[in-house]
Amino acid sequence: MAAATDVRVPKKCTLHSLRDFYATTLIKHKESVKVVQVRLGHSKPSITLDKYVGYWPTDEDTTAAAIESVLEEPEPVPQQSARVVHAPTGTGLRGLR
């Protein structure tokens, strides 16, 4: 039984361009070099890095984001008004004597 699909692939799309799309999509979604290497079947992570190193964020990108997240202005915490609640007579520590 043949499967019917309506997958549209651009005419100039090759198997290698689909492979590159897959790899860069994994990288964009923050997968590690090791994960991409295994998915593509490369024998060593260095092969993956040689081809796709430009797609991982640079150290400057990640360190800037880390510092910005720490230095952002904290959202103000709404202040609740203090309210004194009196305990009924005969309760509390004095009522235990």
What does the pLDDT profile of the chain (97 residues) look like in tens digits?
Answer: 566 667 777 788 899 999 999 999 999 998 999 999 999 999 999 999 999 999 987 777 778 888 888 888 766 667 766 666 666 665 555 555 5
Supply the pLDDT for residue 47. 96
- Residue 46 contacts residue 36 (beta carbons within 8 Å): no
**Which pTM was predicted?**
0.54
Helix, coil or strand: residue 86: coil
Sign of the C-alpha dihedral computed for residues 56, 60, 63 and 68 taken in this order: negative
Supply the pLDDT for residue 32. 93
Supply the pLDDT for residue 10. 77
Supply the pLDDT for residue 8. 76
In whole angstroms, give the CA distance from residue 48 to residue 41.
9
